[in-house]
């Protein structure tokens, strides 16, 4: 299989030196890339993280949500499975200042606009291709601070991935995590307090079973 995996938190620039981002370390995406490689699969990793990529992946470095979307579009047709593990910014500044914004005593107001929903885009592309081309698997992540199953199920329904993986805020930046995952036609399963490498290995196995 050819896995296309996104990782890390994107940066949305306000001016040449300042940006809006999030606390994602990219560890889960990198663990998934490593697990897929060890299982004998081809991996293209699109990353907004500064971490060193696993040896053997085809690496594509990006910074912004727009750059990540362009990279996903470029490689989507070539993959068998897209895993959207990246924490893609939901908003980006309407206008980026070409020069560094100087500090003043006045309040600074930054107007934001929504970024493209890459998972929803992939869910639509997948549906349009299933009748004429080889099936593609799309996997999404849901980071939630409350109503984790309810919110993840809504994402599964509205954005049409084949599988949703849900975790809590406590998972950010840690080597261990508890995740819940659900396929479109299956029930909830749980991997509790496990190393992200262990979680990734199990997730890759589930995805392979979905395709074959």
The position carrying tokens 């999030």 is: 22
Annotated catalytic residue 167: no
Please, which residues have CB within 8 angstroms of residue 31's CB and are 6 or more apart in sequence? 196, 197, 199, 200
Q: Hey, what CATH topology would domain 2-99+109-211 get?
A: Rossmann fold (3.40.50)
3-state SS, the chain, equals CEEEEEECECCEECCCCCEECCCCCCHHHHHHHHHHHHCCCEEEEEECCCCCCCCCCEEEECCCHHHHHHHHHHHHCCCCEEEECCECCCEEECCCCCCCCCCCCCCCCCCEEECCCHHHHHHHHHHHHCCCCCCCEEEEEEEECCCHHHHHHHHHHHHCCCEEEEEEHHHCCCCEEEEEEEECCCCCEEEEEEEHHHHHHHHHHHHHHHHC
Q: Of the candidates 104, 85, 99, which has an alpha carbon nearest to the alpha carbon of residue 165?
A: 85
CB-count burial class (<10 Å; 0-12, 13-18, 19+) for 114: exposed
Q: Is the pLDDT of residue 130 over 90?
A: no
Per-residue tokens: 41: 């699969």
| pLDDT at position 172 | 83
Give pLDDT, residue 41: 98
**Residue percentage of the chain with pLDDT more than 70:** 96
Distance CA 62, CA 91 (A): 16
| Choice among 22, 151, 160, 185 that is catalytic | 22
Q: pLDDT digit string (tens) for 120-129?
A: 999 999 865 5
Residues 168-200 pLDDT 10s: 888 887 888 999 999 988 999 999 999 999 999
Closest CA to 168 of 204, 188, 192, 139: 192
Tell me the pLDDT band of 108, cut-offs 50, 70 and 90. very high
Residue 191 has φ and ψ, to the nearest 5°, of -120, 115
Q: Which pTM was predicted?
A: 0.93
């Amino acid at each position: 299989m050819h896995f296309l995996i996104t990782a890390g938190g994107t940066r949305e620039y306000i001016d040449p030196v300042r940006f809006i981002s999030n606390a994602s370390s990219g560890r889960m995406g990198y663990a998934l890339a490593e697990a897929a490689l060890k299982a004998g699969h081809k991996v293209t990793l699109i990353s907004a993280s500064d971490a060193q990529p696993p040896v053997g992946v085809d690496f594509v470095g990006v910074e912004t949500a727009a750059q990540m979307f362009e990279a996903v579009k470029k490689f989507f047709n070539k993959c068998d499975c897209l895993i959207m593990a990246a924490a893609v910014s939901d908003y980006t500044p309407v206008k980026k200042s070409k020069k560094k914004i100087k500090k003043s005593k006045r309040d600074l107001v930054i107007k934001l606009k929504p970024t493209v929903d890459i998972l929803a885009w992939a869910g639509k592309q997948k549906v349009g291709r299933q009748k004429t081309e080889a099936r593609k698997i799309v996997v999404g992540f849901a980071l939630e601070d409350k109503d984790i199953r309810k919110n993840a199920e809504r994402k599964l329904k509205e954005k049409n991935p084949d599988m949703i993986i849900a975790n809590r805020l406590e998972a950010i930046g840690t080597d261990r995590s508890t995740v819940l995952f659900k396929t479109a036609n299956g029930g909830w399963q749980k991997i509790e307090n496990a190393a992200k490498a262990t979680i990734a290995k199990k997730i890759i196995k589930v995805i392979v079973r979905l395709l074959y």
